């Protein structure tokens, strides 16, 4: 196993709060500031150790008596686009993807709110104001971009906030028009990033944490082959 060397720095533990994914569970995290001479390099190193980014912080779950959150990444150079995935790509072939600087806009925020009300009305992000959304998008010390997806008439269908890493792409947050159910936009956004990573010659797309007991987070193992982070390091996931 290749050992991940994390530079010496301060890590902090958050107080327990209700888990947003598993009822009755309490969530704790260890966090550190993405600061220093090379925050991108620090971010890459911490990601290999299972950390995720939120604004200028890197965090990882450190819950008492619970290890449900498992880091997962897609192996893009071995990824197979099965028939159902090809069907989704075809259904969205009319969408144009445009990569943009990580800057908040009212149009994106309105879609963000619509998505949250439809899919995550009981979540911790449901009461976010524009300033909160702006901070989520813009307060990044690492290489970050937005990608928006529009149809031929210019209608905004989806937006994804993505970190560009040394070994791949990391999906920070995605949202889309919940009324366009036939497009399977959530799946399409992941497939688009896999294709993009392949074009860039990157071996990984990081999908955050897989939680098998949570319907909102269990879908991530659909994208195989994939690796999960275990006590022995990154290992191929076998469903």
Cα angle vertex 195, ends 86, 100, to 5°?
A: 120
Q: Give the Cα separation of 213 and 68 in Å (integer).
A: 8
Cα–chain center distance at 111: 18
What confidence tier does 120 reach under pLDDT thresholds 50, 70, 90?
A: low
How far is CA 92 from each of CA 85, 189, 191, rounded to the nearest angstrom? Answer: 11, 10, 11
Average pLDDT for the chain = 92
Contact 193, 76 (CB under 8 A): no
The pLDDT value recorded for residue 8 is 53
What is the C-alpha R_g of the chain? 17
pLDDT at 38 over 60: yes
pLDDT, one tens digit per residue, over 79-118 is 999 999 999 999 999 999 999 999 999 999 999 999 999 8
How is the chain split into domains, by residue range?
12-68, 72-236
pLDDT band at 27 (very low <50, low <70, confident <90, very high): very high
Contacts of 155 by beta carbon, 8 Å cutoff, 6+ apart: none
| pLDDT at 121 (0 to 100) | 57
pLDDT for 173 equals 96
Q: How confident is the model at residue 1 (pLDDT cuts 50, 70, 90)?
A: very low
Q: What is residue 197's three-state secondary structure?
A: helix
The CA distance from 229 to 50, in Å, is 7
The whole-number pLDDT of residue 238 equals 78
Q: Which pLDDT belongs to residue 6?
A: 54
Residue 214's pLDDT band (cuts 50, 70, 90): confident
Averaged pLDDT, 5-34: 86
Q: Where is pLDDT greater, at 194 or 37?
A: 194
* Fold adopted by 72-236: Aminopeptidase (3.40.630)
Q: What is the mean pLDDT of residues 138-163?
A: 98
- Looking at residues 187-202, what average pLDDT do you find? 98
How far is it, in rounded angstroms, from Cα 194 to Cα 62?
29
pLDDT of the residue at 127: 77
**Whether 186 contacts 176, CB under 8 Å:** yes
Question: Does residue 9 carry a pLDDT above 90?
Answer: no
CA pair distance 211, 216, nearest whole angstrom: 8
């Amino acid at each position: 196993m290749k050992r991940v060397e994390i530079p010496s720095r301060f890590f902090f533990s958050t107080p327990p709060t209700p888990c947003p994914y598993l009822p009755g569970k309490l969530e704790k995290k260890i966090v550190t500031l993405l600061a220093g001479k090379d925050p991108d390099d620090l971010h890459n190193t911490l990601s290999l150790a299972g950390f995720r980014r939120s604004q200028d912080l890197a965090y990882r779950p450190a819950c008492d008596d619970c290890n449900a959150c498992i880091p997962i990444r897609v192996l893009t150079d071995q990824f197979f686009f099965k028939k159902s995935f090809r069907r989704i790509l075809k259904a969205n072939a009319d969408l144009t993807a445009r990569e943009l600087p990580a800057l908040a806009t009212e149009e994106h925020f309105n879609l963000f709110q619509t998505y949250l009300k439809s899919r995550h009305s009981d979540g911790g992000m449901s009461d976010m104001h524009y300033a909160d959304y702006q901070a989520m998008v813009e307060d990044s010390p690492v290489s970050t971009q937005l990608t928006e997806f529009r149809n031929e008439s210019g209608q905004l269908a989806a937006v994804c906030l993505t970190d560009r890493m040394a070994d791949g792409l990391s999906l920070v947050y995605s949202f889309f028009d919940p009324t366009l159910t036939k497009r399977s936009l959530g799946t399409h956004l992941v497939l688009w990033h896999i294709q993009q990573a392949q074009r860039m010659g990157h071996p990984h797309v990081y999908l955050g944490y897989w939680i098998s007991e949570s319907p909102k987070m269990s879908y991530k193992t659909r994208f195989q082959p994939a690796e999960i982070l275990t006590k022995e390091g990154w290992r191929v996931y076998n469903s």
